[in-house]
A and B are shown apart, each in its own frame.
Chain A
Amino acid sequence: MLEISNLSIRYGSKEGGVRALEGVNLRIEDGSIFGIVGESGSGKSTLAMALMRLLPKSGSVEGGQVLLDGQDILSMPDREFRKLRGSKLSLVFQGAMNTLNPLMRIDIQVAEPLVLHGMSEKDAALQKAHETLELVGLDASTWRKYPHELSGGMKQRTVIASAIITQPKVLIADEPSTALDVITQVQIMNLLRSLQRRLYMTVIFISHDFPLVSEMSDRIAIMYGGKLCETGRNDQIMHRPMHPYTVGLINSVASIGNKRKLSAIPGDPVDMRNPPSGCRFRPRCSGATEKCASYGYAVTNVESEHDVYCTLYGN
């Protein structure tokens, strides 16, 4: 169980900086795929980096906590956390192109987490790396190759192999397929899903691609401007969307056999250096009222497991 409560992240100083994440609360059950959707600047990647404690130097945790099986992973010492990073908690990077060290054989790079965490000796780790590469669909002819000899999809499989080799409890996949062509994208998604079932991992799947997230995830959180809009089970979000932003997202997606007219959400993405008061989505929202300008992001539980952050509901 991963519990994120009231998490806020800031880049830069109090005066000049940007609050990239504000008051985020999420409960992520073991063995499920949890999807997080948002456009760029929504804070979804900041959330991923915060969970891995890999924020850039200018980023800092302003408040809140993250409990992994009851253990607060944000307040533990670096040295302690490093034992979890890459073993119990793994990250699949976005953008497959430059994620691998060009000077190192891929099987060695896949084996690295095992050696770093003292889980096996070098030879055994390499053996295990070959098994894992096989598992993600790369055959023996590729194991000893260098990154520049692989296609984009093969590189992404390598990155995934290195993330799962330690059989992590939680796998964070941040835009794992964005840089790839459509066919490869589908293959990578199927691979992630089958690995999740096989290894009983918790997968946090982060993407700007709403249809992809809805296809993959058991539960979905929608983010906008560093804050949550709505969280719920997949069917709740897809069939009974509550937040105007969620509704807008669903309406802007074309799906086969759907005759409804496509409509884009009007307005520009939020300027995080100078965010609007109250609800961040207010300037683009057709249902905005005066109440929204002073909205304090109170959560409304509209049905079991379905939460929404909007003045249209509750008080």
Chain B
Amino acid sequence: MTEEQHFLKIFLHNKKGMAGLIIVLIFVAMGILAPYVTPYSPSYTNPNAFLLPPSSKHPFGTNVLGQDLLTLDFYGARISLIVGISAAAIAVGLGLIVGLFSGYYGGVIDEILMRVVDFFIVIPALVFMIIIAALLGPSTVNVILVIGMLSWAPTARIIRSMVLSIREWPFVESAKANNAGSLYIMFRHIFPNVSSVLYGNAMLAVASAIFTQAALVFLGVGNVTDISWGGIIHEAYATGALDAGDLSYVIPPGFFIFILIFGFILIGYAVEEILNPRLRILKRQ
């Protein structure tokens, strides 16, 4: 059994991890199946039926344009997942490369890269993103890029600290002795040993990207034309539906963001728990 299969086996027995996985899969299904299960088209507007309270025709009521909120809430899963996963992929990819290079080469390269990492960890990312997103103009791709480019530092730091110890292992030494190229050693020998940590980290990165995307759209600097949960909440806030106490407008989208993030956090925490045996709860024998 390879290390990854072994890891997977433990993961499948971890309650938190499985709960998180099920949550995430439900939302994936929600996003994919949205056109088949929702009662209306997301672009269908009805000026005569705006801000309706919940009814059997519109379980969550309608928005200012008379769109069915239940339909929009289902479609909203798409943007959250797409932005969350793509931004996290950029962040984790960048973090992996920086971490591998920094840890493998050490010395001056490491020193410089780590100061850059320190810098990116310290700066107030959300404030940064708000301003850049506002200047770049609203588009989903911009939001993905901004989140991805500003979220890689924690991953780089973790990967680097792992690489520092792995590069001393005998098999890396012997690969060097056999004149294997640095890139080959990094990706062929070192990467497989940091991959499980990377998965846990990637889950947390997705969670944080989903939150950031929703926050940016809520603040009105993301793409408000695409259907997203943050956008629905923004709309409810901007049109005064919140102050009017319109529960079915505000509660479902926020609740979905919350649960989806919770799902990814649970998976990430489970991975961390499996990798750090001290955190694993001792089974009462």
Interface residues of A (CB under 8 A from B): 11-13, 16-17, 57-58
Contact = CB atoms under 8 A, between A and B. Distances in A.
A17 B284 CA distance: 10
Give the secondary structure class of B's interface: loop
A76 B282 CA distance: 28
Given A16-B285, A17-B285, 7 more contacts: A11-B285, A12-B285, A13-B284, A13-B285, A57-B282, A58-B282, A58-B285
9 contacts: A11-B285, A12-B285, A13-B284, A13-B285, A16-B285, A17-B285, A57-B282, A58-B282, A58-B285
A22 B282 CA distance: 25
Interface residues of B, number: 3
A57 B282 CA distance: 10
Contacts of A57: 282
Nearest to A11: B285
Interface string B130-162: 000000000000000000000000000000000
A58 B284 CA distance: 8
B284 to A, nearest CB: 8
Give the secondary structure class of A's interface: loop
Contacts of B282: 57-58
A183 B284 CA distance: 44
Contacts of B285: 11-13, 16-17, 58
Interface in B261-285: 282, 284-285
A13 B283 CA distance: 11
Nearest to A13: B285
A11 B283 CA distance: 12
A141 B282 CA distance: 44
B244 to A, nearest CB: 56
Contacts of A11: 285
A11 B284 CA distance: 11
Contacts of B284: 13
B281 to A, nearest CB: 12
A57 B284 CA distance: 10
Nearest to A56: B282
A139 B284 CA distance: 47
B217 to A, nearest CB: 46
Interface in B227-285: 282, 284-285
A55 to B, nearest CB: 14
A11 B285 CA distance: 9
A17 B282 CA distance: 14
Contacts of A16: 285
A169 B230 CA distance: 70
